[in-house]
Structure 1
Amino acid sequence: MTRRAERRPGSLRSLLLWVLVPAQIAVLSLALWLSSRQLHQQVDLAYDRSLAGALRAIDHNISTGSGGLSVELPYLMLEFFELTANDSVYYRILTEDGLADIGNQDLPLPDARLPSNAPVFYDRDYLGASIRIAALARPMSPPLYGQKDGRIIVMVGEDRGGRDRVIRDMMVRNIVRDLIEVLASTGLIVVGVLIGLRPLTRLYRELKGRAPDDLSPIAAPELPREVQPLVDAVNQHVARHARQARRQRQFLDDASHQLRTPLAVLRTQLDYALRESDPAEARAALLAMRGGLDQAQRTAAQMLALARARGADTRASPPGSVALTPLAQDVIRQLYGLARQKRQTIGMEGGELGAVVPGIEWLLREALVNLMDNAIKYTPEGGAITLRIERTPAGIVLGVRDTGPGMTEADIRKAGRRFRRGRAGKRSHGAGLGLAIVHTIMRRHGGALRIEPADPGVQVSLVFPIDQGLPGNSSF
């Protein structure tokens, strides 16, 4: 056995918690990462706007009209900006050719050439600190030194410490908020899983506390809709098991009812034979015992056939098309020896019709064997038995007619019941198991068992309705 086969499946509660809680943490972690990126972008955007404002203010105070680069720095604005940023502020103003350079002259330029009239923002290390720089390049008006395309570059930088502290404080608040959300959502998931599985726990306790013979359906309307199909399937399985249990109990009752008396009679006959000193009397007792054994054997065979017919599994023996003529001929050959012992004649009519009915072949054979066996048993020596196949408005009829003593109207109405006894002077069909078997088989085939008085004897027929349908659609 492999290690995988040895592993026991975990509980549904553990499975849900181990799936939902980590998934919740993973989703919230991803959300925290995304919010961190967005926070950096938003804070940079806000601070960059202030940086761009300082850049524009310096640019408006630059002049080249005197033949040189001059600037009147807005100190009040820069001081206010420095106080607002709460960090150091740097500036640099230069011509693109580098001939004029004012301010923090080592403030680093961007790696790429600046576009005209569009501020560019970038990060650099300056004086041992990380700073944010805004740079703007614009054409000189008027140009210096006779240049036609010269440009002035204006740069303003600030230490990133202030904005990084803002981002860090906001991130701490976001993390605390998200942790609270994770804990709250995890708690809600745990509580929801426990509450959602509570009906299953109650169902488990109810089933565990049931008596072994309690096969009543499970009634749990409070279960979730997703579990109801499982409960319905379990109820169907329990119903099948209950039917099987009833058949087993019925079989045991039948066996106890039918075999108790023959066994008691055999015991009495055996005791009589052992006490008898006259060989002729002992032989007579032994012959009686043989007759009793034959009867007990026949009863046991009929009881097994009845149990088999009631418990037939159509999945193991699916319905098919059964040709009645070959079936009838096989049954006649099977019982011909018994009829010859009583010098009875067996005839067959309607074999040329080629009638075919939907059903299970071995069940229909068992039904016809019981009809023929009853006919042979109750037909006197020298009598006649006729097996007839015909088409009628009611359907296809497979009938067995004999020249026996017949049956009363009361017995015909009770035919098919187990352990029925006939009236005195009439046929009783033993304990009634033969016709009970036939009745059960025909009911499973959607047909009917019909008994009609004849002169002389009786005719017992199997009736298959015309609208019974194809074998695959038969009612089994």
Structure 2
Amino acid sequence: MRRRLLAFLLIPMLVLLLLDALLTYTVALSYSNHVHDRDLAGDAQSLAALLQHDAVPGEISSQARFLLDYDPDGRSYYSIRSRLHGPVSGNAALEMHGVQAHVDQAPTLFDSRLGHTPLRAATVAITDPRNPQDVLEITVAETLHDRHMVAREILLLSVPLQLLLIVLLLGLAWLGVNVGLRGLEPLTDRLARREHTLAPIDDSDVPKELLPLTRTIDNLFTRLRELMALQDRFIADAAHQLRTPLTGLALHVERAQAHANNPVLRDALHHIGRLNGRAARTARQLLALTRAQTPHPEDERMTTLDLATLLPDAVGDRVHEAIAAGVDLGYEGTTAPLQVRGNAGALRELLDNLLDNALRYTPREGSVTVRLHPADHEHGAGFSVEDDGPGVPDEWLPRLGERFFRVPSSHEDGTGLGLAIVQRIAERHAATVVYARSPSGGLLVNVHFPAAGIDA
């Protein structure tokens, strides 16, 4: 937009500069012609006055000859002609083109030529003081060089000033465009700070020229909200509807296993139960993901939470699972309060998904460690979950957190939704999630809260 505005201003200004230069030269040449015509007519009248006092007929005085011959560039010509006797004196045969002056009248100005050189001439007629019956025609001419030279000098004096004026105007235009475009900065900043909200744009500080754009964006946001709400309702309804038959199927599988004597049947029922549990877990995680990415009134009510209390409680609740899986589950941190603004239920679900992911992929006799990082009022604080499982190849780390994404080399059962839920809950709390390799080769997940949300 800035380039287009400046180009729209610059190109017409350059065209105007060329037109103005042409107009200036034309006016300057007209003014120079006027001045030189006046001087030329004055020279003709002066010569006529000198001739009227000459003592010898047909000759001009030394003063008159000096007036006519003095020209440092040699561009002045004169001719004295008697109507009865023809040429009397002169330094050039000037073409009159039928021009005839009248006695005792103002000089007549006309264009003439000397060979191929164009001239400007002035002629005046006087009565011959030695012969009253005769008339002398005095013609003075000059080349057009001085006229054009004066016009060029005027042009060269005016063009730099006009160019300076245009440069100043362009500077003012550049400043005006930049200042005018700064009106977009509040809107740009507000849109940049948005993460997952599709609320209408506040028009209070939007220039009225941009209102059609913001209203079009609001209409797009409305359609997106409707589509996302429809998608979320579908996922929630489908997951909810699946929970009941899956629960019933699990009960019937348990009953059948209790009364199954056939080893083949018992093995088949075991696989059915495992697959049923996986489907039930997928339904639960779909519900959790829907809650994590759909704004709810209770999620907006953030409270002050103590990570130094929340983390040990979450780890303690999973100790029995860790013991059953043969995994050493540990916690490292201080007892000093480390408070953040957040939703207790959402953060607890974030921790549960990280622990579930770590316990699932950590082999027997492995370890999972939850660490609380101390507060830093400049860089914030947070916690990490580290395991010594198989880890994730570096090329797949950036994709962790995508819905339904699972590392291709993974052989464990999973839905690819656990880390997606973690990512959405972290975004709700303005926190960042960073995935990396742990020193032991497993997965290290860092959850970092910004300094603005920390109260240590």
Under TM normalisation by the shorter chain, which class is it? 0.3 to 0.5
TM-score normalised per structure 1: 0.43
TM-score normalised per structure 2: 0.45
